[in-house]
Structure 1
């Protein structure tokens, strides 16, 4: 039986590629297990208070945090294309002005899309005065697929994604 060179080479390349992809998948699984262990550890840790002194996000990401301040509803941003239970909707991201100075962004939850008017936002309540908010510190509000940057323009209330640095400016 004669072994042909090109078919054997192609089979060998495919075998090496699939073995390499298997190692890549294993490494990704280890990364996710490590992140999950970190999240579980922080979930049971004491709540960290967010105050006027800036905290590095890397030091508190995935930690439970507590902030006291006043919501700024005039600066709200609605993150578009965030489905929930197969229904289209928005994440409501609103700044909270912290007592003593500073601002944090709070993901206040999900709102359904007004199906009759794409830009219409269903009414919701925003507490006035001082509130206390407890949650999990995250680096971003979530990223959705976006073509170009048209859906993240700095002046729009409804955006595809939120660039925190551009929003702060």
Structure 2
């Protein structure tokens, strides 16, 4: 009798800790990126970097946009680990003053509900060498369309430096 009373208490209390099966099945499915929508966002990302137009930034960068890249932070003397462009406005202003870079998307490697992972390269400038990079695009659906909420970008910054006409010395 003691065992069954204990079992009843455990099962009764677990009903409060776990949702009912009915609520699991009735839960609304959140809206997720389709493969086609992810491709459209990647195209927007490519335009934002390679052929910036302010109207793209206005429409496709979310109001709480943030860009993070230690690769870029090394060039602009920003502390590593800090946001590179902490707001949509700072990002848009920086893009207006940057020359376009010929970013070629090599592959879209992952699409999650609100995130896209891709690999790319850019070949340009003095050294004309391909600097390879990866980008994780965080998205949100607002104002009736998908917008970019965050960019996490890393790339071969030494090759980028050479392409920009800079140099480095290896001391081993």
Query: TM-score by structure 2 length?
Result: 0.29
Where is the helix percentage greater, Structure 1 or Structure 2? Answer: 2
Query: TM-score by structure 1 length?
Result: 0.29
